[in-house]
Amino acid sequence: MTYLETARRKTEELAKQEKVRILSLETSCDETAAAVVENGRVILSNVVFSQIDLHELYGGVVPEIASRAHMEACDRVIDQALREAGMKLEEIDALAVTKGPGLVGALLTGVNCMKGLAFAAGKPLVGVNHIEGHVSANYLSHPDLEPPFLCLVVSGGHSHLVEVEDYGVYRLIGQTADDAAGEAFDKAARVLGLPYPGGPRIDALAEEGNPEAFVLPKPKTAGKYDYSFSGLKTAFINTVHGLEQRGEPLPKADLAASFRRAVCTELMEKAEAVIRSRRQTAGGKEQAFALAGGVSANRELRRTAEAMCRRQGVKLFMPVIPLCTDNGAMIGSAAYYRLMRGGIAGLNMNAEPALRLVN
Ligand code: KG4
Ligand code: ZN
């Protein structure tokens, strides 16, 4: 029997099993992360090895350094995830790995590692879309959450408004035309002299500042529900340079607070507009809205989402903070729902650096 035939047969048996435990690996950017997740909802272990120290010196992720660091860390992180879950590899039902989008070298390290393990152990393997992983972090934080819901996915590489119609079924409503929200935060932070990754630092600094101190322009987009952050970022950089040229001291907390306010207002206004328009078509049915991705850890974004959902009478779901940024458990959750639909990969699976959530 070939590997794929064995994997298919095992997958069919898994559908009858009460508990399905998946060992997952995430290596798309600068975190080597592994987890064991049960039935897509219960975290048995979640180990994240961050490479931030290695990249901080360069002010951003260096792809070659990331790939090498993943290669060195993979085995160790996987072993730790199994140990913390109290399980042996033989007891695991299936394996999962992020296949895209992300840095090609970083993805390849993880994909090859898990293909090798799947072949050696004769276990089904699931290739997971990283963005779907972020959405699925909400299933881990909220056992009661079921599709359909509207989800704002905001990370270092993505800003998407998607309708989650069912598990694995997405409809793209809006996306960024240029920079992602996290990328904009990171660039603005760099101008303020804050170290990489700047998003969390700008967020902390902004708590001390006045969000109305600086007026930044409202982004313009072609699509009604699309985003654009590059103009906002340029306006911010120009404001900072203007202050520097006049020899004025930088009110960093006020600048951070004003920038954060502009980004969060933009993100939430579009989401609210979608919810309003859906209310007319959904006949007033109760709606749900979820945040996902690294930027959903942002304190003001969470507060703005709470206020918006209260205003609109919509139920809000947000991942707990450690599940907002990259982790292995979110990949294990997304993999479960894919596996239950028979979505297993062959050993010819490749990394797909430009993989989209919706084609
Ligand atoms: O989801 P993630 O870990 O990786 C990607 O898939 O990109 O997101 C990382 C991004 C970075 O740009 C980081 O600066 C941003 O999320 N981020 C934040 C916060 N925490 C992480 N941005 C704003 N406020 C935060 N608290
Ligand atoms: Zn991510």
Q: Are 35 and 43 contacting, i.e. CB atoms less than 8 angstroms apart? A: yes
Does ligand 1 have an atom closer than 6 angstroms to the CB of 181?
no
Does ligand 1 have an atom closer than 6 angstroms to the CB of 294?
yes
Ligand 1 centroid distance, CA of 334 (Å): 20
What are 91's two structure tokens? 């007891």
Does ligand 1 have an atom closer than 6 angstroms to the CB of 159?
no
Res 285: pLDDT: 65
Handedness of CA 345, 135, 232, 198 (dihedral sign): negative
Handedness of CA 302, 66, 69, 350 (dihedral sign): positive
Ligand 2 centroid distance, CA of 187 (Å): 17
Q: Ligand 1: which of 138, 192, 196, 295 to mutate, most ligand atoms within 8 Å of CB? A: 295
C-alpha pair distances (Å), 138 with each of 59, 172, 272, 290, 304: 30, 18, 19, 7, 18
Q: Tens digits of per-residue pLDDT, 245-263?
A: 999 999 999 999 999 999 9
Q: Tens digits of per-residue pLDDT, 32-42?
A: 999 999 999 99
Q: Tens digits of per-residue pLDDT, 291-349?
A: 999 999 999 999 999 999 999 999 999 999 999 999 999 999 999 999 999 999 999 99
**CA 183 to ligand 1: nearest atom:** 12
Ligand 1 centroid distance, CA of 198 (Å): 8
User: Given a cut of 90, is residue 60 above it in pLDDT?
Assistant: no
Q: Are 257 and 203 contacting, i.e. CB atoms less than 8 angstroms apart? A: no
User: Given a cut of 70, is residue 191 above it in pLDDT?
Assistant: yes
The chain-wide mean pLDDT, for the chain, equals 96
Stretch 115-133: mean pLDDT: 98
**CA 31 to ligand 1: nearest atom:** 3
CA-closest candidate to residue 327, choices 12, 27, 33: 33
Res 283: pLDDT: 60
Ligand 1 centroid distance, CA of 200 (Å): 7
User: Which range has the worst mean pLDDT, 108-112, 125-129, 196-200?
Assistant: 196-200
- CA angle, 308 then 314 then 316, to 5°: 75
Handedness of CA 248, 250, 254, 259 (dihedral sign): positive
Res 243: pLDDT: 97
Does ligand 1 have an atom closer than 6 angstroms to the CB of 179?
no
**CA 325 to ligand 1: nearest atom:** 3
pTM score > 0.85 for this model? yes
Does ligand 1 have an atom closer than 6 angstroms to the CB of 98?
no
Share of the chain above pLDDT 70, in %: 98
CA-closest candidate to residue 320, choices 300, 289, 296: 296
Comparing 53 with 345, the larger pLDDT belongs to 345
